[in-house]
Amino acid sequence: MLPLGKGELELRDDRVVLRILMNAASQINNLDVYRHDNGFVKILLGIHSGKQVRVHIWDRDFGQEMSSSIHSHRHPILSRVVLGAFKEERWLSALSGKAFRRYDFSPSLPGRMELTDSGVIRLRPAPTHTRQAGDVYSIPLNVFHAVRPLTIPTITVFTQDLRLRSDGIVASESQLEKLARPSLMQTRDRAALHGIISKLISETASKLGDTR
C-alpha cells in the first residue's frame, strides 16, 4: 500500500506524484521491476483505492529496435507524464478497419505474459498525440494504442482501475510466438533506475519547495 491517504489518487497533484516517486525510490530493491516487451521499465508499486500504481521508465537501455505493440488494456488507465515526452498512436475497433492478428493476453508470473491467438481484429487509426511532461491522459477500455518515447529518459506515473475489466488484446500484422518477458531486474540495474528517479524527485521537490 502507498502512503497517499484515504482519498482517490489525483495525478494532477504534484505532491501526490512526488510521494509516488519517493515510494518507488525507497522500495526499488523490494518491488517487482522488469523491462516490458514494449521497451520501458515497469515498476509495480502496489494497490491504492482499488487502483494498481506503477512507474514506467524509458531509459538509455531502450533500444531503437524496440517498438510498442498495438494493444488495449485489461483495465481503464490514467497516466501522467512526469519527465520527457512520447508519441502515442491510437486505434479503434471498426468493421471496415485494417485486419490484424488478435492475441488475447493475461499475466502469469511477475514479468511474464501469456498470449492466445484469437483470430482477426479490425482497427482504424484514431488521432495521434504527443504527450509531454505535465500531461495527464486516460486510456478507456475500448481504445488501442502504441507508444514511442521522443526523449530519453521519459517517465510516467500510471494507474489502472482494477474494479473494471475487459479483454487485454495485442494486435499484430505478423504472427507472434508465445511471449515471455525478461526476469525481474537485478540489483545493479535497479541502482541505475534509483539514480534516475532520485534526480527527478530532487527536481520536483525543489519546484514545490519541499525540503524532505
Query: Span 10-22, mean pLDDT?
Result: 94
Identify whether 48 is part of a domain.
Answer: yes
Q: Decide if 48 contacts 1 (C-beta within 8 A).
A: yes
Peptide bond into 182 cis (omega under 30): no
- Tally of domains within the chain: 1
Identify whether 1 is part of a domain.
Answer: no
pLDDT at residue 106 in the model? 79
Identify whether 36 is part of a domain.
Answer: yes
Q: Decide if 43 contacts 54 (C-beta within 8 A).
A: yes
Query: Span 24-50, mean pLDDT?
Result: 91
The model's pLDDT over 96-116, given as tens digits with 9 standing for 90+, comes to 999 999 999 877 666 567 788
Identify whether 37 is part of a domain.
Answer: yes
Percent of the chain with pLDDT over 70: 87
The model's pLDDT over 57-70, given as tens digits with 9 standing for 90+, comes to 999 887 655 667 89
**Residue 82's CB: how many other CB atoms inside 10 A?**
24
Query: Span 129-136, mean pLDDT?
Result: 97
Torsion sign across C-alpha atoms 142, 148, 151, 155: positive
Mean pLDDT of the chain: 88
Residue-number span of the structural domain to which 151 is assigned: 14-208
pTM over 0.85: yes
The model's pLDDT over 139-196, given as tens digits with 9 standing for 90+, comes to 999 999 999 999 999 999 999 999 999 999 999 998 887 655 567 899 999 999 999 9
CATH number of the domain that 32 lies in?
2.60.120.10
